[in-house]
Amino acid sequence: MKTRKLTTLGLSVALALILSYVESLLPPLMAVPGVKVGLPNVVILFLLYRCGWKEAGCVSLIRLVLSAALFTGFVAFFYGLAGAVLSLLGSALLKKSGRFSPLGVSAAGGVLHNLGQIALAALVLDSGYVFAYLPVLLLSGTVAGALVGLLAGILIQRTDVR
């Protein structure tokens, strides 16, 4: 059982990392930092449902460290971390409430991810003006999160990994 879990999590890290790479190849969707689909989150959401928030958090953190070292860089790591922590926290709580499917859990996660990043940007740049991005980031977070939720929902339904 333990080996199986270790293997599942290891594979998850690899998969999430590859999805980060695939996403880094896509041209930016819009000229606003933070507008992207967040493909690696399909894996994280899957783990949240199939294993638990601790496992999802670990894989998310390792994925962030590796993708920062390989593709995105040091600064992006902290923005990713701010988004990931808030997003996972919110998603885990919403999932626990039992009122939402992966679709809603993920949409909220997407919005929270963007809110975390924008809050950090406001802190780092010491200016509240980055909040002018709020409408775009709320919209993109919802849409991207819902997409990720749909994908992860299909995976969760069709697999039986423990």
Partner 1 sequence: MDHDRKKIAPTRGDIGLIVGCLLAALVCCGLWLGLRRDGAAVIVEQDGRETARYALTKDRTVKIEGAAGYNILVIEGGEVWLSEADCPNLLCVKTGKIRYAGQSIVCLPHKVAVRIVGGASALDAVTGP
14 binds partner 1 per the rule CB under 8 A = no
**Spatial CB neighbours of 70, under 8 Å, sequence gap ≥ 6:** 17, 21
126 binds partner 1 per the rule CB under 8 A = yes
Nearest to 80, CA basis, from 44, 127, 134, 29: 44
Nearest to 105, CA basis, from 63, 158, 58, 42: 42
Minimum separation from the CB atom of position 120 to partner 1 (A): 10
Tokens found for residue 79: 């923005």
Report, in angstroms and rounded to the nearest whole number, the Rg of the chain calculated over CA atoms: 15
| Of 8-16, 39-47, 55-63, 137-145: span binding partner 1 (CB under 8 A) | 137-145
Determine how many CB atoms are found less than 10 A away from the CB of residue 35.
18
Site string for partner 1, 106-125 (x = CB under 8 A): -xx--x---------x--xx
Where do contacts with partner 1 occur on this chain (CB under 8 A)?
Answer: 28, 31-33, 49, 73, 75-76, 79, 94, 97-104, 107-108, 111, 121, 124-127, 129-130, 132, 134-136, 138-139, 141-142, 146, 153, 156-157, 160
